Structure 1
Amino acid sequence: MGGRAFLANGLCTPRMTTNVYQQVLQNVETKLRNHFTFVGHPTEAPGKTTHGDLDIVVCQLKTKSQENGASGDFLARILGAYTWKRTPGNSEFHFALPWPEWDFDLDQCPVRDLETTVQDLRISNNIQPDPTRPNAQIRKQIYIQADIRICPTHQVFQWHLFHHSHGDFWAIVGSSIRRFGLTITNEGLMVRIPEIEPHNRTAARIKVTDDPTTVRQFLGLDVDRFWKHFTDYNDIMDYAATCRFHDPAHWTDKAETDRKYDMMDGREARRVAKRDMFAYWIQSYLPAHVDDKPGPSSHMSREDVVLEASRIPVIGRDFSARFQAKREEWVTKHGRDNFWVNVRELLKANNCAGGYAIKGLKREITSEETPLTPSPSSDEGRALAFVRAAYQNHMFAIVLDWISKNWEAVGQRQEALDREISRQKMRAKRERMAQENISSHSDAQQTMVVEVMTVHLE
């Protein structure tokens, strides 16, 4: 899409021809390389003939004294920008650059999605083309949008270029690897934890790696081919289909039934409607290749993927352990949260408002040593110890059964404990007030003695 950052400012930033795009991109990157160690841009999708904006990534200022100056004003001075703005919440800046003076094909350049040209736009605004008019005067109203992202580290810089290259390439690969619990994000290759995913998609993710080479190797994609030129959609999709998890037969329903969106999540369905490259993958390429040979790993389960990832040295042998630890942590918390919801429902069903009962149950079940609980040597004490162990091991059905039989006694013990605590607090308060009165009385007596002695001396 691109080129829309300055619509609210009333600036015209029409789409660029490839010639204009390449020349301006080269000029901007040359200027930035005088100030940044790393400068680059994502590779464009194949077949693009016009471009909405420039997307440039930079990292590591060369002069430390400029660290506080890597701002919009600093970059605008470098680029000679007309104006700039920053996207709230991230490190991306948008700049309006003057249209180059040497471009004499401007009049036929399409203006974004307005279905018009720059020439028509000028005429509609009573700006008549004049062959005798200096070129610079005409072009003062036309700008190029340049988006520049400052990356905090070289690793982030590399990943951003990798993740945003070739248009919707990673959305295409993502549609093949999603059922294996794999996701490509702005942070790296992620594995989703199935128990968490229905409740929180973001929290369900755990990073596998953010190394571009490792990602291509793990997915079975040719490492060197990625950075080479793709001639058209079919060329790049042939490459995407070499992913070892891709199974053409998985998409048969899309080609043979009217339920073509059933196997996509909501974001993929919206992407089909808005993105030509992804729509071609779903609507044209996949139906034409449903009989192709599946990838060698297309039969794997999500658990197999986690285990295989942990065997890759670059990823680390502890990956499986980290995955399991995060899953168990969430399952434990989610299970206990649901358990206490069920406890409250049980108490409500027994016409108990909660209060002492729920407070006492949490105290006795979750704590080892608490006052006013049955003696450990008694039958009740041994039963309570068993229930505590069941709770720690997530055997909530056993705990809930015990609660259904003992909640009244637990509530009575909690009420007695709260009253005893209240009495102790009142007793301590009375003792404190009495001590304060004694101190006050003693101070008053001392004052009287001093006053009497003063009068006597006078």
Structure 2
Amino acid sequence: MGGSAFNFLLASSFPRLPPPVYHALKARLTPVLRQFYVHVAVPAEAPEKTDHGDLDFVVFCPRNSSAPHSVNVPHELIKAALGATHCILEEGNRTSNFAIVVDRGAWGHLGCTEQEEKNRQSAGEHDIYCQVDVHVCADKNEWERVVYFHSYGDLGMIQGLVASNVGLVLGVNGLKFPHPPHPTLILCQDFTIISKFFGWSNERRNSGFDNRQQIFEWVSESRFFDPKCFQTSGEGIRKVKVQRTMYSDFVAWAKQRLAEGGLTSVDMAEVKRRRERVREEALIEFGRQDEVEAYVKEFEGRKKLKSSFNGTVVNAWTHSKGNWRKVKTIMTIKERKD
């Protein structure tokens, strides 16, 4: 969710935050934001992380809002409460960025004096800052989804990769059924239900992970994870930035599982058959099969009608000899009768 948004300031002014600094900042600012929002959370951090780029808060439901339909607390109040010097503000259910100056010597009591001084040398005469992002959600369901999907680093994206391998889309808005050229369907937005469908234990996830290995093993417990069929690129699988090291490590881990098991990748025909089986199962599981079949039937009917009843065909039938106004009149009358 992060990365420095303040491109008008030096990149060196936003140092990576050592874990003690990050956790102290989170402990200090969480109660501050809870004065303004009913629901405040920081997505669970990726295990074994040696530093942090910024601090991400996900919030919902302003307290004592003077604007009943607004999801935002007035930005000037949040800026003042956080003690931010610079900010990039967004209205509605969006993310606003705040830059908070690090006072000289502030990292000393956390045992990070050396890191602070090194960062100040890199910034030269300029201040150094902590970046704090506040993502405002429109409702409780969105708040829960955002917190879930962005917890444990790249885990949500890794889960999305497993979904892509079986022809589905899993993201911060839930589980979707892509069906081009038809509209994409949202199958479910409750990650507890989605996890059960994939075969992921909610209890295990909620208990937390101590390292990446535990996360990778949890992901592989899905009944839809098969090293033989696992793909990391191709149709329906989006490219991921190289900075996503946890994602990259999972891809390497999955390939290693294939090699260690003495397995060989299956042919693409089998991959496609498996994908269609899972897609059909998903429609049945979430009660959307009849809807999709009815839509496709109607779509094909319109397509067939269009191929047999169009301007060119009507022109030939009626011997209109290119009188397109006459052709249009005939087609309009026919459509009204139908």
Instruction: Tell me which residue corresponds to 2:290.
Output: 321
What is the deviation of 1:177?
Answer: 2.2
Instruction: Tell me which residue corresponds to 2:84.
Output: 81
**Which whole-Å CA distance do the structure 2 matches of 1:62 and 1:159 have between them?**
21
Alignment partner for residue 108 of structure 1, among 115, 135, 143?
115
Counterpart of 1:321, as a letter, is D
Tell me the SS of whatever aligns to 1:16: coil
What is the deviation of 1:40?
Answer: 0.3
**Which whole-Å CA distance do the structure 2 matches of 1:359 and 1:191 have between them?**
38
What is the deviation of 1:352?
Answer: 5.6
**Which whole-Å CA distance do the structure 1 matches of 2:280 and 2:122 have between them?**
56
Does the 8 Å contact 1:272/1:278 carry over to 2?
Answer: no
Tell me the SS of whatever aligns to 1:23: helix
Alignment partner for residue 140 of structure 2, among 154, 168, 174?
154
Tell me the SS of whatever aligns to 2:56: strand
Q: Which of 1 and 2 has higher RCO (CA within 8 Å, sep 6+)?
A: 2
Q: Deviations over 1:169-189 (max 9, x none)?
A: 222222222243321122211
Whose radius of gyration is greater, 1 or 2? 1
Give the paired residue count.
319
**Which whole-Å CA distance do the structure 1 matches of 2:136 and 2:36 have between them?**
12
TM-score by length of 1: 0.61
Q: Could you list the runs of 5+ residues in structure 2 that have no partner in the other structure?
A: 264-270
Going from structure 1 to structure 2, the CA distance change for 1:354 and 1:97 (only over 3 Å counts) comes to farther
What is the deviation of 1:164?
Answer: 1.3
What is the deviation of 1:288?
Answer: 1.2
User: 1 or 2, which has the higher helix percentage?
Assistant: 1
Instruction: Tell me which residue corresponds to 1:43.
Output: 44
Does the 8 Å contact 1:272/1:279 carry over to 2?
Answer: no
**Which whole-Å CA distance do the structure 1 matches of 2:218 and 2:171 have between them?**
20
Alignment of 1:276 with 2:245, yes or no, is: yes
Tell me the SS of whatever aligns to 1:224: helix
- Within 5 A, what are the aligned runs for 1:383-398? none
Going from structure 1 to structure 2, the CA distance change for 1:7 and 1:360 (only over 3 Å counts) comes to same
Q: Deviations over 1:80-101 (max 9, x none)?
A: 2112112477522111122255
What is the deviation of 1:149?
Answer: 1.3
Does the 8 Å contact 1:173/1:243 carry over to 2?
Answer: no
TM-score by length of 2: 0.80
What is the deviation of 1:77?
Answer: 2.0
Tell me the SS of whatever aligns to 2:58: strand
Counterpart of 1:191, as a letter, is F
Q: Deviations over 1:339-375 (max 9, x none)?
A: 3897549969x9964613541452354232xxxxxxx
What is the deviation of 1:57?
Answer: 0.7
Going from structure 1 to structure 2, the CA distance change for 1:331 and 1:87 (only over 3 Å counts) comes to farther
Tell me the SS of whatever aligns to 1:50: coil
Instruction: Tell me which residue corresponds to 1:93.
Output: 96
Going from structure 1 to structure 2, the CA distance change for 1:89 and 1:70 (only over 3 Å counts) comes to closer
Point out the more displaced range, 23-32 or 181-190.
Answer: 181-190
Alignment partner for residue 181 of structure 1, among 167, 171, 185?
167
**Which whole-Å CA distance do the structure 2 matches of 1:365 and 1:287 have between them?**
59
Q: Deviations over 1:364-409 (max 9, x none)?
A: 54232xxxxxxxxxxxxxxxxxxx7xxxxxxxxxxxxxxxxxxxxx
